[in-house]
Structure 1
Amino acid sequence: MAAPVLQAIEADGTTWDDPSEEQLHDLLADMSLTWRFVVVRRLDAEPADQHFMQVYLNDDLSCQVEYREGGPDRHFQAWVPREHETFAVEPVAEVLQAWAYGRPGWREALPWIPWSPAA
């Protein structure tokens, strides 16, 4: 059996190896103010544990999305505002799915800026 390429981690610590696009969408849709984040790691990239995308649900139901592809100088973030009265997962899910499956366009889909711990 081949080693997994992706691993999704929910806020409660539950992990999913090689999640499907539908499963990634569902993990984001299940986020709440109690279970605020999902991290998806690339297990096939070096250096290990330095290639990921994560989504955090803010108090106002907007999202902070981050990706990292290597060292700290390759860590970026973007904010996705809440567009409706409830959390709309589609724009974030499309970016996460495209990143996870290596499709073009995800970098242009959000206004990425370098990550800063102060932000």
Structure 2
Amino acid sequence: MIKVAMTGVYVDDVAAAHAFYTGVLGFETRTHLDLGGGTLFVTVGAPDGAQRDLQLLLEPGGGPVAEPYRRALYEAGIPCIVFSVDDLHAEYERLRALGVRFTHPPQEQGPVIAAVLDDTVGNLVQLTQPKG
């Protein structure tokens, strides 16, 4: 059986992304390695997940491939990743109280309720909750 172990998101600043994804969104640090030369290898995961659960790699996004890709997604209003939550309205209010900027508030989109936020490091992120 094949499972997704890790996926990545390109970010402007790995340290700032780490602070946002852990301190604001509530993920836990899974890996934090200094590879030298100012390069960090950082992964985060769900706070209630086991170490084997899916990890999100916070990748430096300034390269010749990553930067145009990230910019195009952002300018088109396309989230780079989607996270699920149990109570979107409560999470929306919690994050707004922390100063998170949303590009659109919770609204129905097919089988889910969704909202999109700016992760402060160059990306839009969608939060979803199944309807019902």
Q: TM-score range by the shorter chain?
A: under 0.3
Q: Which has the higher strand share?
A: 2
Larger radius of gyration: 2
Q: Normalization by structure 1: what TM-score?
A: 0.28
